[in-house]
Amino acid sequence: MTSRTAIVTGGASGIGLAISRRLVGDGTVVAIFDVDGGAARDAATEICTDGGKAIGLAVDVADRTAIDAAVTEVRSTLGPPAILVNNAGITVAGPFLELTAETWNRVLAVNLTGTFDCCQAVLPDMVEQNWGRIVNISSSSMHSGVPGMAAYVTSKAGMVGLTKVLALEFGRRGITVNTIPPGFIETPMMRDSLSKGVFDMDLQVAKTPVGRVGRPEDIAATCSFLVSEEAAYITGQIIGVNGGRNT
Ligand code: NAI
């Protein structure tokens, strides 16, 4: 792949950071959008020390104005975006009857509406180029459900619906849209859930046929393929990367 421009949301940590590193390694120019602007800039600087090109921008994906401003900056500094990885996400756990409207709305705003807004902000650039790749990082929890995670699981299931519709609407414009629902991946988010007792590490590994926790690089490798030229005939798909967990 030669110097296409990618946007990776939530690219300053965990899975998003691994995807950003991998895409730069593939020869893509990457803009990291993260609510933690300092971490986004640090990640971009680290990636650039290996000779790649990346920038980090402070963007809350729940803020459409901030998204539009950042996409404008990407166009002028790196060129029109051709790849979008919607990876930014938050999780909140707790009993359903204690779930407040405020928490529900925030999780949906970041995980689902943020994905919608980022897609709508960059799709005109992809249409213009007659080429585009969108990868939505959902969650294997949307297959199985997880007790105490109604807002999160609902938001992640919604990402699959959006993926299907966009694949149909934009297939003839050279644009593919796919979803990766990761399984159990060791990242800061997962370590936080483990520390709160939401998941039990040994139990999760026992349930995983390949017998280990996933690595952010496992997701990055799949994402790298889905945004490549070779993946042009794959669209509207749910590509599970979960160590063989029964979904
Ligand atoms: P993480 O917490 O390590 O990284 C998430 C990144 O998103 C952070 O850099 C954070 O600052 C950023 N972020 C959070 N809210 C944001 C916002 N409003 N706007 C922009 N950036 C924001 O999490 P991890 O584990 O790397 O997760 C990445 C994605 O993968 C998430 O969407 C998560 O739901 C999904 N996922 C993760 C799994 C896992 O086992 N770690 C399993 C299934 C899905």
Residue 239 belongs to some domain of the structure: no
Q: Averaged over 220-243, what is the pLDDT?
A: 98
- pLDDT class for 106, splitting at 50, 70, 90? very high
CB-based pocket (< 6 A), ligand 1:
9-10, 12-16, 33-36, 59-62, 87-91, 110, 137, 139, 182, 184-185, 187-190
Q: Where in the sequence is the domain holding 224, given as residue range(s)? A: 5-231
Q: Assign residue 164 the CATH number of its domain.
A: 3.40.50.720
Which residues, 6 or more positions from 81, have their beta carbon under 8 angstroms from its beta carbon?
5, 6, 7, 31, 71, 74, 75, 122, 125, 126
Residue 44 belongs to some domain of the structure: yes
Predicted pLDDT at 2 = 55
Residue 160 belongs to some domain of the structure: yes
Which one, of 74, 56, 66, 67, lies nearest residue 13 by Cα? 56
pLDDT in tens, 121-156: 999 999 999 999 999 999 999 999 999 999 999 999
- Specify the residue for token string 């390694």: 25
Residue 237 belongs to some domain of the structure: no
For the record, the structure tokens of 131 come out as 């080429």
Q: Which atom belonging to ligand 1 lies closest to the Cα atom of 182?
A: 43
Which one, of 193, 81, 100, 95, lies nearest residue 139 by Cα? 193
Residue 216 belongs to some domain of the structure: yes
For the record, the structure tokens of 23 come out as 């895409």
pLDDT in tens, 85-99: 999 999 999 999 999
Return the residue whose CA atom lies nearest to atom 1 of ligand 1.
Answer: 189
Number of domains in the chain: 1
Residue 73 belongs to some domain of the structure: yes
Residue 247 belongs to some domain of the structure: no
Residue 22 belongs to some domain of the structure: yes
